[in-house]
Amino acid sequence: MEIIKQFELSKEYLESLRQAIESEDLNFIRETLDGVNVADIAALLDELSMDEAMYVMRVLDDQLSADILTEFEDATQLRILKELEIPEIAKLIELMDSDDAADILNTYSEREREEIISYFEDKVKSDQILDLLRYDEDTAGGIMAKEFIRANKNWNVVQTINEIRRQAENVNKIYSIFVVNNRQQLLGLVSLKRIVLAAEDTKIEDIYEEEVISVPTHMDQEEVAEIMRKYDLESVPVINAKKKLVGRITVDDILDVMREEAEEDMQAMTGISDTVDEYDSVIKLTKARLPWLLIGICGGLLGAGFIGFFEEGLSKVTALAFFIPLITATGGNVGIQSSSLVVQSLANKSIFDDSLGKRFLKVLLVAVLNGLILATFVFGVVVFIYHNEVAFALVVSIALFSVVLLSSFMGTITPIVLDKVGVNPALASGPFITTANDLIGLAVYFLIAISLLNI
């Protein structure tokens, strides 16, 4: 059993490590990091300068360095890879699981990939990685690993155990044994417990379970994540069009997918139109942020136009201007709350558990209740501030109530429509909803003011 040290990064150790790097004390570096979880080592190297981190990576065992490299965030990983020579990159990639290796190779151009692969010494690993590169990155084929254990249905328990021992050299985690026929088509799976408890001459076909959930290579990674979540799977086999077993996806792969999707949704909700991070170029960061900022500017200009259109009314009742921020901010907040819930439901595939009619009725009831409470509160405050100006207080409170209803509707329907047309519904929770609700709120506010105050 591998012993993992409980590691806690301290300023004292960090300083000692820096001194060891400066004095080239290899023993200190290797001994203090021996047995430490690779994720902790990756976090430690993030605290060092690039030169210091590269020195430690080159001092450590190649297998450990390869494992550490897979733990880094994508941006840090790319920065480290840029510091390595092609033969060094090839050596580290060859020591990784095939899915991690393919992910890294996908960041290179075709010419660079071919050059890296030319340095591979393991023909089997090379073939596995090349096979994975054929699939789109966001599909089951793109995230699966080629390292898994299979057993032929005609084998007996002794043959299977011997094969497990042979195949397990390349498999870090064994969840179950996939059972195939002579054409390598997936038939089912058998647990290690059943193999251990069965008699030596028992055939695998007599003890395997035929009911197995599998996914095709072309399935979108989000659908795979939903299947594994729904059925509480630790791993799932991947099959091609001929039902041949070609790989497996494990729960740690799905956690990476979920993290990536959450980051994409977060960026979309804040109005960033592309997947970027802080290490990207100024031009790329600007291009990712600019579109929605321009939409916000256009919305602001339209809002200014609305206010200008009602300039005469504002000049007669200047107090109307004081409550413009209240109306627009409330509309934006209500819209974001509603759309966020819908986006979450879409992500969990639960949006259609109930009929749309029931969902909209529920949204309406919540909006009415919230709107009545907010409008009543604001009505009382306005009457108190403006000394019993009931008509003016009614304008503000009725407008607020109307805006809450309309914003809830917009926040609910917009993500559903965007999802139907193939646009990321998380975009609805960003500047789109905020800008739209600002305009709606201003229009409703001034129309009600004209109607009730006769301005």
- Cα distance between residue 363 and residue 365, in whole Å: 6
Quote the strand ranges of 169-244, DSSP E.
Answer: 177-180, 186-190, 215-216, 235-239
What pLDDT was estimated at residue 143?
92
CATH architecture of 282-453: Orthogonal Bundle (1.10)
What pLDDT was estimated at residue 384?
86
| Identical fold, 11-131 and 150-250 | no
Strand order in the sheet with 235-239: 215-216, 235-239, 245-250
For the cut 50, the answer to whether the pLDDT of residue 2 exceeds it is no
pTM over 0.75: no
Q: Running DSSP on this structure, what letter comes out for residue 48?
A: S
What pLDDT was estimated at residue 374?
92
For the cut 60, the answer to whether the pLDDT of residue 271 exceeds it is no
Strands 245-250 and 235-239: antiparallel
What pLDDT was estimated at residue 316?
62
Least confident of 12-16, 132-136, 344-348: 344-348
For the cut 80, the answer to whether the pLDDT of residue 1 exceeds it is no
Strands 177-180 and 186-190: antiparallel
237 SS3 class: strand
State which CATH number among 1.10.3720.10, 3.50.50.60, 1.10.1060.10, 1.25.60.10 fits the domain covering 11-131.
1.25.60.10
Answer yes or no: are the C-beta atoms of 99 and 144 closer than 8 Å: yes
For the cut 80, the answer to whether the pLDDT of residue 5 exceeds it is no
Nearest to 144 by CA among 33, 52, 224: 224
Top-confidence residue, 422 or 257: 257
Question: 308: which 2 tokens?
Answer: 């200008």
pLDDT band at 168 (very low <50, low <70, confident <90, very high): confident
What burial letters (b/e) apply to 400-425, b meaning 16+ CB within 10 Å?
Answer: bbbbbbbbbbbbbbbbbebbeeeebb
Distances (CA, A) of 371 to 182, 242, 331, 360: 66, 57, 11, 16
CATH 3.10.580.10 assigned to 150-250: yes
What pLDDT was estimated at residue 304?
76
Half-sphere exposure of 314 (CA within 13 A, CB side): 14
- Cα distance between residue 141 and residue 132, in whole Å: 7
Answer yes or no: are the C-beta atoms of 161 and 149 closer than 8 Å: no
For the cut 80, the answer to whether the pLDDT of residue 350 exceeds it is no
Domain ranges (residues) in the chain: 11-131, 150-250, 282-453
Least confident of 92-106, 146-160, 193-207, 401-415: 401-415
| Residue range 407-454, pLDDT digits in tens | 888 888 887 777 777 766 666 556 677 778 888 888 888 888 888 877
Q: Long-range contacts: 225-231, Cβ < 8 Å, 24+? A: 225/254, 225/257, 225/258, 225/261, 226/348, 226/349, 228/254, 229/254
